Structure 1
Amino acid sequence: MAMPVLTSYFFEDLALGMRETIMKTVMESDVVGFAQVSGDDNPIHLCDVYAAKTRFGQRIAHGLYTASLISAVLGTRLPGPGAVYMSQTLSFKAPVKIGDVVVVSVEVVELVEKGRRCRLHCEASVDGQVVLDGEATVMVPGRPKERAPEPAPGQPAKTEAA
């Protein structure tokens, strides 16, 4: 996956219906790397001989690898850097195979001012077929407050009356 251009939204910049999408071709090195990082070395992901005997007929990517692509969108595009994952629901619909091009989209479906929470519908598809969907809730940074200008050198700082 090419590193996406980082976009960053403050909570105040978000609106219902905002949407972002990325595409990722699943490579063998992705599946092997995810197995190493996660410790999930199930042969359905790593062994051609084993996987050929399963109902899928070939190796498949880890479900959580596919789900991790949602994190890539949330952390780099919408809302972007500074967003903190609070929760995620996932419903796996179909397998993702090595070589598949996964299209991952997230859409803002709710904004909650208290705590600056954003709920997003998340979906991954291959060739137009949904392979994974769910919802994520993230906490989004607020826009920084404007700071008062610094006093000129030799001038006293202004203080607010009590």
Structure 2
Amino acid sequence: MLDNLPRGTICIEDLEIGMRRDRSKVISDADIELFAEVSTDRNPVHLDEDYARETMFQGRIAHGMLTAGLISAVIGEQLPGYGTVYLGQNLKFMAPVRPGDRVTAEVAVTAIDHARRRVTLETLARVGDTLVLKGEALVLAPSRKFD
């Protein structure tokens, strides 16, 4: 289930430092299977409980990039939204995400370069109070001047 926050575009002319948006999703077994299929990453730590139980994670975990994909969804649909182009993203994975976990991905505006239409965003993901991912994205924001 996804949150009900509004989707669409916030043009660079309307962005402000500190603006935040988030999205939550429960990561299902089907999500993990689909991501493995699309990405071709079939590492057994994601797909085989018996194998994963013997790893440092002591059970299956979701692909880190599946979690990161929720960040992309917030950027592409909410902040700045439709028409945004990713220029770069750094990520640090802090803790595992397991099947059944509700992940909340959050994006916050930390810098705006109006002349170049570039926006720097803090990117975070949490499961409950546990930070599972942190990073920073640089995007090219949509502008009313280029409609």
| Interval of TM-score (by shorter of Structure 1 and Structure 2) | over 0.9
| Alignment-mate amino acid for residue 46 of structure 2 | H
Instruction: Calculate percent identity across the aligned residue pairs.
Output: 45
Greater Rg over alpha carbons, structure: 1
| 1:59-138 superposed matches below 5 A | 59-138=60-139
User: Relative to total residues, which structure has the larger helix share, 1 or 2?
Assistant: 2
- Mapped contact 2:80–2:142 kept (Cα < 8 A): no
| 3-state SS in 1 of match to 2:132 | strand
| 1:33 matched residue in structure 2 | 34
TM-score by length of 1: 0.86
Unaligned runs of 5+ in 2: none
Q: Distance in 1 between matches of 2:77 and 2:142?
A: 14
Q: CA deviation at 1:145?
A: 7.0
**Count of equivalent residues:** 146
Equivalent position amino acid for 2:69 in 1: S
The structure with the greater share of residues assigned to strand is 2
Q: Secondary structure at the match of 2:99?
A: coil
Alpha-carbon separation, structure 2, partners of 1:127 and 1:13: 31
What is the deviation of 1:114?
A: 2.5
Using a 3 Å threshold, how does the CA distance of structure 1 residues 145 and 124 change in structure 2: closer, same or farther?
A: closer
- Does the aligned pair in 1 maintain the 2:2–2:24 contact within 8 Å? no
Once the two structures are superposed, what CA deviation does each residue of 1:26-64 show, in whole Å capped at 9, x if it has no partner?
A: 000000000000010000000011011112111100011
In 2, the alpha carbon distance for the partners of 1:51 and 1:123 equals 25
SS across alignment from 2:70 = helix
Cα RMSD (Å) of the superposition?
Answer: 1.5
Mapped to 2, the partners of 1:78 and 1:85 lie a distance apart of 12
Q: How much does 1:115 deviate? A: 1.8
TM alignment of 1:22-61, pairs within 5 A? 22-61=23-62
Counterpart for residue 12 of structure 1? 13
SS at match of 1:137: strand
Which residue identity does 1:12 align to in structure 2? E
* Other-structure match for 1:155: none
**Deviation beyond 3 Å, 4+ runs, structure 1:** 1-5
Q: CA deviation at 1:3?
A: 7.8
Distance 1:145 1:63, change over 3 A: closer
TM-score of the aligned structures, taking structure 2 as reference length? 0.94
CA 1:57/1:127 → structure 2, altered by over 3 Å: closer, same or farther? same
Structure 2 SS opposite 1:30:
helix
